[in-house]
């Protein structure tokens, strides 16, 4: 599909229905999604504690673009395109590490932690090193969470910060440590992974373990005394009772089921040393960015779920678990137990998302109607995607005039 045919497909999309087939299956649409969504929007990239000291770095891919986050000598976190200014090699291999200088393995050009080119082998004396520093990307930090945007025209970050910072600050994420990662290559388009993450109509049957603790937000009984007490606690503490939302983010507290302390296999805390003593009555805190993630903070741990498209029919799903830095493995928590609920849930979702991909790739597929209430967040996601995609194409056309 070229840009014009993508635009026509977006225009013809039937409201309140799933997307046309090509938007879930076409490789050109995959490239288009990287340009229009993943290279233009805020991406949740890390917890600050993953970069504890000067020289610590995290190297990762955003679509086909290698980037690196670095803790500078001054303690700041900066982000750069992980592409050498000499002949363009990827400099740091994906993963985490620590260095004093960022050195390209190809011809050993070297960069300071602040991205300046400090060594350029083979160049003349009068070579202007200062014009060839690493190209910088935008980085924002919110109470221990780190976001990046590759484009300078990403949406204004301030409304998200204003909504999220007072809520997440209670969880003391700067006192945390990441204790587990799960990475899954899912055989499905990233939009199906996100639609699946935007509804819980599949939870009762699909996630019996999660349903021990999770209240389905769409069927929440606001007259139930447990929920009434939950919302009055939020009000008493000056916390909004509804989600704070912008077009590209959403955050808010949601009650757990009565008698449940945390989202675990048995509903009790899985980590004895809590992140905060102050959040026991606050259910769970959810924050999600429209393009690629949903995350959950509980008194004893934080769980994050991010998707990154690999091609039209494959998506990398990366989950992380964060606990208090002083919690001792084997004493305060059992990592096997801690990872069990969300790994089980993720694996169940892999099955659901992959059968979804197989079906939408069928010659018999036609877009189907979303359930008005239970899938309203799916619809908002696909509406947002279509709006952003159209906007991108319209701006591209305008810029050519
Ligand atoms: Fe990096 Fe040559 S490409 S030093
Ligand atoms: Fe699910």
The predicted complex's ipTM stands at 0.98
The whole-number pLDDT of residue 220 equals 75
**Binding site membership of 123 for ligand 1 (Cβ less than 6 Å):** no
d(CA 212, CA 215): 8
Atom of ligand 1 nearest to the CA of 109: 4
d(CA 289, CA 50): 20
**134 C-alpha to ligand 1 centroid (Å):** 12
**130 C-alpha to ligand 1 centroid (Å):** 16
Residue nearest (by alpha carbon) to ligand 1 atom 3: 87
The whole-number pLDDT of residue 219 equals 67
Indicate which ligand has the atom closest to the C-alpha of 122.
Answer: 1
**Binding site membership of 87 for ligand 1 (Cβ less than 6 Å):** yes
Atom of ligand 1 nearest to the CA of 104: 1
Indicate which ligand has the atom closest to the C-alpha of 317.
Answer: 2
Indicate which ligand has the atom closest to the C-alpha of 196.
Answer: 2
Atom of ligand 1 nearest to the CA of 87: 3
The whole-number pLDDT of residue 125 equals 92
Phi (first) and psi of residue 329, to 5 degrees: -60, 135
d(CA 171, CA 143): 9
The whole-number pLDDT of residue 318 equals 98
Indicate which ligand has the atom closest to the C-alpha of 350.
Answer: 2
Residue nearest (by alpha carbon) to ligand 1 atom 4: 107
Atom of ligand 1 nearest to the CA of 108: 4
Low-confidence ranges of the chain (pLDDT < 70): 216-219, 400-401
**123 C-alpha to ligand 1 centroid (Å):** 12
Give 111's contacts (C-beta < 8 A, 6+ positions apart).
91, 101, 102, 103, 104, 117, 118, 133, 134
Instruction: Report yes or no: 263 and 270 within 8 Å, Cβ to Cβ.
Output: no
Atom of ligand 1 nearest to the CA of 88: 3
């Amino acid at each position: 599909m070229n840009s014009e045919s993508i635009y026509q497909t977006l225009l013809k999309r039937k409201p309140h229905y799933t997307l046309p087939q090509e938007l879930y299956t076409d490789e050109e649409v995959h490239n288009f999604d990287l340009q229009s969504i993943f290279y233009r929007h805020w991406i949740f990239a890390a917890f600050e504690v993953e970069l504890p000291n000067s020289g610590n770095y995290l190297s990762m891919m955003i679509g086909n673009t290698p980037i690196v986050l670095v803790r500078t000598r001054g303690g700041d976190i900066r982000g750069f395109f992980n592409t050498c200014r000499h002949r363009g090699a990827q400099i740091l291999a994906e993963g985490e590490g620590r260095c004093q200088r960022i050195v390209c393995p190809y011809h050993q050009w070297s960069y300071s932690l602040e991205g300046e080119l400090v060594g350029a082998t083979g160049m003349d004396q009068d070579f202007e090193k200062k014009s060839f520093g690493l190209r910088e990307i935008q980085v924002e930090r919110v109470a221990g969470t780190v976001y990046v945007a590759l484009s300078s025209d990403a949406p204004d970050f301030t409304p998200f910060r204003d909504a999220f910072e007072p809520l997440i600050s209670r969880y003391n994420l700067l006192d945390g440590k990441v204790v587990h990662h799960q990475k899954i290559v899912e055989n499905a388009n990233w939009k199906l992974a996100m639609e699946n993450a935007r509804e819980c109509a599949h939870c009762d049957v699909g996630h019996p373990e999660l349903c021990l603790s999770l209240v389905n937000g769409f069927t929440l009984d606001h007259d139930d005394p447990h929920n009434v007490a939950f919302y009055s606690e939020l009000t008493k503490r000056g916390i909004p009772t509804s989600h704070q939302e912008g077009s590209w983010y959403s955050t808010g507290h949601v009650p757990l089921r009565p008698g449940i302390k945390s989202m675990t296999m048995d509903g009790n805390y899985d980590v004895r040393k809590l992140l905060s003593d102050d959040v026991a009555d606050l259910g769970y805190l959810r924050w999600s960015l429209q393009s690629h993630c949903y995350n959950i903070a509980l008194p004893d741990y934080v769980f994050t779920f991010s998707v990154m498209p690999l091609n039209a029919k494959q998506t990398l799903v990366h989950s992380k678990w964060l606990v208090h830095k002083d919690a001792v493995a084997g004493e305060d928590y059992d990592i096997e137990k801690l990872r069990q609920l969300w790994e089980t849930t993720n694996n169940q979702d892999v099955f659901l998302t992959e059968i979804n991909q197989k079906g939408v790739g069928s010659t018999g597929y036609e877009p189907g109607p979303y359930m008005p209430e239970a899938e309203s967040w799916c619809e908002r996601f696909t509406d947002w995607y279509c709006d952003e995609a159209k906007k991108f194409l319209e701006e591209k056309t305008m810029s050519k005039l």
